[in-house]
Amino acid sequence: MKFGIAAIMSASLFSLSSTAMAAEVKVMAGDLPPMVQKDGTGREAEIISTVLGHCGHTAVFVVQPFTRHWQSFESGTGDAVATVPVGMPTAGTQTQSYISYQNGVSYLTSSDHEAASLSDLNGWNIVAFEGASNIIPGLGGETSAFKSYREMADQKTQSKLLYGKRVDGILGDGMLFAEFARQLQEAGASAGVDASQAIEFRAIFEPSPYAMSFRDPAMAADFDRCFSELDQAGTIAEINTRWTDKYRAALGDNYMSY
């Protein structure tokens, strides 16, 4: 009987300890639909929420323009920050990679262009997301070969430039472009461009891995452990494949192995 009481007390203490360890984690995230959307959903948001949930924590997303969320974290806001290029110095402790983006080039099927490698873009008018030349491996030293090159934060405007034939190609993650294209198609004539035009996406860059950074080193270790467990169980691949399938018509088989 004494053993039974001791076991119950031990289990109760363990339960209380686990509950005390559980945390509501404020995650600073970039506004990158469909990776992270303003309502805290999306491919990347689902991975983060699922991993933290597996650890017993709850993710609360604070969504800001991409790169500003890094600055907010550096200035002391939030418990963690998402979409950190692996190896980029940040406050806190960086985790292992938990997601990869597949950057490439998107262009109109009706154009005379074809791209199988970065060098095929020589002479093109190119637009890319803000900071692309520093984030996409191999891009920084090649932009001088383009006819023109500019970066902008508003990726919906990038899409309009492509559909309006004012640029030849957009550099960035294929899933992001597919989502902005979907939004323009949904807007119809009010979008101001013909978003029904067929688009090609070519994955001309290696996938870009991203990590989280946590202020609490123990939380970073917890995240890595829980991610590894879910990855081995096939849960992470299932999330990635399900989100890729939503944009299969635009991505084809060019989005990593998903």
Angle formed by the axes of helices 217-232 and 43-54, nearest 10°: 100
DSSP state of 32: B
What pLDDT, on a 0 to 100 scale, did the predictor assign at position 21? 63
Contact between 61 and 7 (Cβ < 8 Å): no
Domain boundary among 163, 180, 202: 202
The model's pTM is 0.87
Contact between 67 and 101 (Cβ < 8 Å): no
Contact between 95 and 223 (Cβ < 8 Å): yes
What pLDDT, on a 0 to 100 scale, did the predictor assign at position 16? 34
**Which candidate, 129, 98, 132, 106, places its Cα nearest to that of 32?**
129
Would you say residue 12 lies in a domain? no
Q: Which contiguous run of DSSP H or E holds residue 83? A: strand 80-85
Whether residues 108 and 197 fall in one domain: yes
Per-residue tens of pLDDT for the chain, all 258 residues: 444 444 434 443 333 333 336 689 999 999 999 999 999 999 999 999 999 999 999 999 999 999 999 999 999 999 999 999 999 999 999 999 999 999 999 999 999 899 999 999 999 999 999 889 988 988 988 999 999 999 998 888 999 999 999 999 999 999 999 999 999 999 999 989 999 999 999 999 999 999 999 999 999 999 999 999 999 999 999 999 999 999 998 898 989 989
Q: What's the structural domain count of the chain?
A: 2
Whether residues 188 and 236 fall in one domain: no
Whether residues 144 and 192 fall in one domain: yes
Would you say residue 8 lies in a domain? no
Whether residue 34 has a cis bond before it, omega within 30° of 0: yes
CA atoms within 13 A on the CB side of 93: 11
Would you say residue 5 lies in a domain? no
The C-alpha angle with vertex 209 and arms to 205 and 214, in degrees rounded to 5, equals 155
CA dihedral over 67, 51, 225, 209, signed as positive or negative: negative
Whether residues 82 and 113 fall in one domain: no
Contact between 177 and 159 (Cβ < 8 Å): yes
Would you say residue 13 lies in a domain? no
Q: What is the CATH number of the domain that holds 124?
A: 3.40.190.10
Whether residues 116 and 85 fall in one domain: no
Contact between 125 and 147 (Cβ < 8 Å): yes
Alpha carbon of residue 140 to chain centroid: 20
Whether residues 240 and 172 fall in one domain: no
| Secondary structure (3-state) at 219 | helix
Domain that holds residue 160: 103-202
Whether residues 109 and 194 fall in one domain: yes
Query: With DSSP H G I counted as helix, E B as strand and the rest as coil, what are the percentages for the chain, rounded to 5?
Result: 40, 25, 35
Q: Token pair for residue 206?
A: 């290696």
Alpha carbon of residue 130 to chain centroid: 14
